[in-house]
Amino acid sequence: MIDVLVIGGGNAALCAALMAREAGASVLLLEAAPREWRGGNSPHTRNLRCMHDVPQDVLIEAYPEEEYWQDLLKVTGGLTNEKLARMAIRASATCRDWMRQHGVHFQPPLSGALHVARTNAFFMGGGKALMNAYYRSAEKLGVQVRYNAPVDAIELDDGRFKAVRIGAERIEAKACVLAAGGFESNREWLREAWGMNESGEWPADNFLIRGTRFNMGVLLKFMIEAGADPVGDPGQSHCVAIDARAPLYDGGICTRVDCVSLGIMLNRNAERFYDEGEDFWPKRYAIWGRLVAGQPGQIGYSIIDAKAVGRFMPPVFPGAKADTLPELARLLGLNEDAFVNTVEAFNAACRVGTFDHTALDDCHTDGLTPAKTHWALPLDTPPYYGYTLRPGITFTYLGLKVNEQAAVHFGGVPSANLFVAGEMMAGNVLGKGYTAGVGMAIGTAFGRIAGTQAAAAATGMKKENAHAAA
Amino acid sequence: MPRLEALTREASELALGIIPLNADEAEVGRVLQICNACRYCEGFCAVFPAMTRRLEFGKADIHYLSNLCHNCGSCLHACQYAPPHEFAVNVPKAMATVRGKTYADYAWPAAMGALYKRNGLTLSLATAAGLALFLLLAVMRQGSLIHAPLAGDFYAVFPHNLMATMFGIVFGFSMLALMIGVARFWRDVTPGMASSDASLSAAVEATDNVLRLKYLGGGHGEGCNNADDAFTLWRKRFHHFTFYGFMLCFASTSVATLYHYLLKLDAPYALTSLPVLLGITGGIGLLIGPAGLLWLNLQRHPAHGDARQKPMDRGFIALLFLISLTGLALMWWRDSGFMALLLAVHLGVVLALFLTLPYGKFAHGFYRGAALLKFAIEKRMPDRLRLESE
Ligand SMILES: Cc1cc2nc3c(=O)[nH]c(=O)nc-3n(C[C@H](O)[C@H](O)[C@H](O)COP(=O)(O)OP(=O)(O)OC[C@H]3O[C@@H](n4cnc5c(N)ncnc54)[C@H](O)[C@@H]3O)c2cc1C
Ligand code: SF4
Ligand code: SF4
């Protein structure tokens, strides 16, 4: 019988599998996806938020535990378990050497796009390069990997893990780590979680999924129904505004549209609905998905003029482009009069001071609702550009409750041999909100803990069996 | 209707001085647009930092970036948008396709570029065989193909001046053609130059990058990809063997020429003489390098690069290997009765190589060198863009 079964094939799963194998356990990893789509959302990531007290290899200055914790507290609004959060934070300071041993490369801070080099370590080549390295290392160490293996049920015996089932196949193991991600690709479940709005629309029907199509939440649902303690709210997720032309799945990072704060954002009625200049990118980034989801038809239009070009990350799809405002409205399918009125009202309200898109500057509107509090420049320089945006779900927050051993709990009692890591338990730390790089930090910390614990549970059992035989 | 629109667009672009892209260039443009919005591969090589200085990719940018790519494969294996993703991003393949075309498109005289565009292996080998045969015939006419040992006296078979003139002309022409091609490329891709101080340090940096093959290191020094997503330094090493082997052989010939004209020392030279020592070491390098490159080429992941260029790559590799093999054989048996035969074959392959230099894989070193120089210069110029991001 195999010692440790790992379910999932993303970052958390590989961290668990590697640690369990390093601890001497035999390991079988079951990944739902075929090889070419392996890794879930992890291949779309690019960095890891790391605590450090002094400059450390690829990280500059310092990002002490307390600051990290305060950042997390702020974004979650207190929906976090301090003990578990601090464990993840501390682990993020020391995990990079272990990652390097398994072939992961970090990127020295080199370009302007990487000015977050203080808080985040960037994977050279991004998450897919990281996952490739982990898989190579796992195979070299003798971890068995099976692709196209979607687990659909788990056999439990009073909180103890027995076996998994893939259709008619049954696989037993002494211990198990669940690391099968969230439920963001399950459109039915999203629909249910977001419900119907006042206009009778199902907002989630218009959502795009930024990551994998394989995170269906089958095991999450199974476990909750089997009595495992859940944590988090199914309606919570990381939701950003992305180009409406993005593919339904796996659009990844490149479909984001970065120019919102440089212009104005309209809804389907060509009305503004939120302060585009409220704050800097990371914060904005995470709010616009929900804001767009709250608009009729779950659609938004970011409008800029020629002055903005060259000041934001180039978008993957070209925007609609026109020399006059009515023409742009036509191209975007918006009411011309309403569009022109909104832009003119905005232009008239702009109080231009010293424009600086790298600081909270003094360009703002006067007497306009909603106001634009920074970076308010009239849209008056053709050509004008418009980008159509939709809510893009990054991942969901509902998960299973854990303790410091990453054990699954049933009615408050930790399982002896069933553990959970990554997005399936990230909600313990991240009840809502998000700050870049914390998903991988949680997955790496708890993936490693779960792997170690599962190996201990399995080899401990080995000893028990030996006693029994003697 | 779409055709008409395309024609109108082309006409208006032409009027604006925008040169329309061909399908392969358009594919590089498409892929770069995605990369520029993603940028995860920033750390691998110079292509990505060069890319981020641009928002749009015109023909010249595409030629420049395509020649800056070392086809190392890292960004393909790391790509979250690689096939089967619907974006189907394959940077090395798109760039290799354009790169192969630039050698032909910039070739001088233009007609030669078209001629050498295809069937590399066949062509190279046929040229080599043809030339060898030609030389054999010449020798046979003199009735001395198999002869009494001549104690390594090559000039008894081919008079020195004949050889010097023949190879001098062919080599001179090839170098001229290559330089004209590279100069045309350079003119297209470089709108401006940095100050002369910066140019000097840029030249030093580019040379260093070329000599160390920096960008076959994968950005982390563990090498590039060949058969799969694992990194290997062997491609870099075999390139080094090939390059430095070639340079040593070249040095050997140059020293021999100097001996001949300056010191009035005629061949044959002793085994311990400088030209022979340089030639033997270079020859061994030039056996190991191309053999290794061929072996790697055969293992190469099918998604890397442009499969249609494999004959050209292998033709060039085979020629280098043959030159070295025949050269060493000539050295070994130079005192035997087969010297004339071996000499004729060796000279035949060398002549074939010289002839194909500007129109085949050899060109990649020059175009890439130029692209690296441009990168080093550009790096020293201020970046106009002020992109705000995460
Ligand atoms: C576009 C994008 C960018 C991101 N960028 C970052 C970033 O830069 N930094 C960061 O920290 N976080 C980032 N995240 C978040 C990050 O991806 C997640 O926090 C992290 O990948 C979670 O890892 P995981 O192993 O728990 O899940 P995943 O990586 O999603 O892996 C889940 C795995 O489980 C498999 N699976 C699902 N169901 C089953 C089943 N029934 N049986 C077997 N296998 C199953 C899936 O196929 C998959 O392999 C990003 C997410 C997205 C979408
Ligand atoms: S090759 Fe792929 S992962 Fe790399 S920068 Fe381009 S799009 Fe991004
Ligand atoms: S294949 Fe290698 S050299 Fe070419 S662009 Fe990709 S990483 Fe750079």
Residue type, A22: E
Phi-psi region of B268 (alpha: psi -120 to 50; beta: other; left: phi over 0): beta
Q: Bridge-partner residues for A171, per DSSP?
A: A164
Average pLDDT rounded to a whole number, residues A362-389:
96
> How high is the pLDDT of residue B145?
67
Task: Tell which atom from ligand 2 comes closest to the C-alpha of B34.
Answer: 7
Average pLDDT rounded to a whole number, residues A122-150:
98
Protein residue whose Cα sits closest to atom 12 of ligand 1: A439
* Ligand 1 interacting residues, C-beta cut-off 6 A: A 7-13, 30-33, 39-42, 44-48, 150-151, 179-181, 210-212, 214-216, 218-219, 252-253, 394-395, 422-423, 436-440, 443
- Closest residue on chain A to B84 (Cα): A36
Q: Are B100 and B309 in contact (CB under 8 A)?
A: yes
Q: Bridge-partner residues for A173, per DSSP?
A: A2
Q: Do residue B34 and residue A316 have CB atoms under 8 angstroms apart?
A: yes
> How high is the pLDDT of residue A330?
97
Report residue B74 as tokens: 């890292």
d(CA B365, CA B358): 11
Is the pLDDT assigned to residue A467 strictly greater than 60? Answer: no
Q: What is the DSSP letter of B219?
A: T
SS3 A465: helix
The pTM of this model reads 0.94
Instruction: Give the end-to-end CA distance of chain A in Å, rounded to a whole number.
Output: 19
Quote the Cα angle for A383-A386-A391, to 5°. Answer: 165
Q: Do residue B77 and residue A128 have CB atoms under 8 angstroms apart?
A: yes
Distance A301 CA to ligand 1 centre (A): 29
d(CA B43, CA A47): 13
d(CA B381, CA B129): 50
Q: Are A49 and A437 in contact (CB under 8 A)?
A: yes
Residues 6+ apart with CB under 8 A from B234: B223, B226, B292, B296
Of A205-209, A231-235, A352-356, B323-327, where does mean pLDDT reach its minimum? A231-235
Q: Do residue A314 and residue B37 have CB atoms under 8 angstroms apart?
A: yes
Is the pLDDT assigned to residue A319 strictly greater than 70? Answer: yes
Q: What is the DSSP letter of A201?
A: -
Whether the bond into B92 is cis, omega within 30 of 0:
no
Distance from CA of B232 to the nearest CA of A (A): 13
Instruction: Give the end-to-end CA distance of chain B in Å, rounded to a whole number.
Output: 42
SS3 A61: coil
Residues 6+ apart with CB under 8 A from B313: B120, B297, B361
Of A223-227, A257-261, A441-445, B81-85, where does mean pLDDT reach its minimum? A257-261
Residues 6+ apart with CB under 8 A from A209: A184, A185, A248, A249, A250, A251, A392, A393
Protein residue whose Cα sits closest to atom 5 of ligand 3: B69
Q: Are A392 and A240 in contact (CB under 8 A)?
A: yes
Distance from CA of B164 to the nearest CA of A (A): 51
Distance A155 CA to ligand 2 centre (A): 41
Residue type, A356: D
pLDDT in 10s for each residue of chain B, 390 residues: 445 555 555 556 555 566 789 999 999 999 999 999 999 999 999 999 999 999 999 999 999 999 999 999 999 999 999 999 999 999 999 999 999 988 888 888 887 777 666 656 666 777 777 777 777 777 776 666 677 777 777 777 778 888 888 888 989 999 999 999 999 999 888 755 556 777 889 999 999 999 999 999 999 999 999 999 999 999 999 999 999 999 999 999 999 989 988 988 887 888 899 999 999 999 999 999 999 999 999 999 999 999 988 888 898 899 999 999 999 999 999 888 888 888 888 988 888 888 888 888 899 999 999 999 999 999 888 877 766 544
Strand A120-122 and strand A160-166: pairing?
unpaired
Quick one: which H or E segment has residue B116? helix B110-116
SS3 A250: coil
Of A110-114, A151-155, B88-92, B326-330, where does mean pLDDT reach its minimum? A110-114
Strand A413-420 and strand A169-178: pairing?
parallel
Between B40, B52, B219, which is nearest A126 by CB? B40
Protein residue whose Cα sits closest to atom 3 of ligand 2: B79
For the CA atoms of B337, B339, B344, B345, what is the dihedral angle to 10 degrees?
A: 100
Residue type, B300: R
Phi, psi of A272 (to 5 degrees): -75, 150
- Map tokens 């849209």 to a residue: A379
d(CA B195, CA A286): 44
Q: Comparing C-alpha atoms, which of B140, B73, B55, B67 is closest to residue B100?
A: B67
Which residues in chain A are closer than 8 Å to B44, comparing Cβ atoms? Answer: 124-125
d(CA B364, CA B67): 8
Cβ contacts of A275-281, under 8 Å, gap ≥ 24: A275/A370, A275/A371, A275/A372, A275/A373, A276/A372, A276/A375, A277/A363, A277/A364, A277/A372, A277/A373, A277/A374, A277/A375, A277/A376, A278/A373, A278/A374, A279/A360, A280/A360, A281/B388, A281/B389, A281/B390
d(CA A33, CA A135): 14
Q: Are A241 and A206 in contact (CB under 8 A)?
A: no
SS3 A415: strand
Distances (CA, A) of B52 to A169, A275, A369, B55, B190: 50, 30, 37, 7, 17
Q: Are A448 and A90 in contact (CB under 8 A)?
A: no
A233: Cα within 13 Å, side-chain hemisphere: 11
Q: Where are the beta strands (DSSP E) in B203-352?
A: 224-225, 231-232
Q: Comparing C-alpha atoms, which of A78, A60, A123 is closest to residue A96?
A: A123
Distance A10 CA to ligand 1 centre (A): 6
Q: Comparing C-alpha atoms, which of B225, B355, B51, B87 is closest to residue A133?
A: B225
> How high is the pLDDT of residue B14?
57
ipTM of the complex: 0.94
> How high is the pLDDT of residue B120?
66
Helices (H) and strands (E) in chain B, counts: 15, 2
- Map tokens 């130059």 to a residue: B193
Which residues in chain B are closer than 8 Å to A36, comparing Cβ atoms? Answer: 84
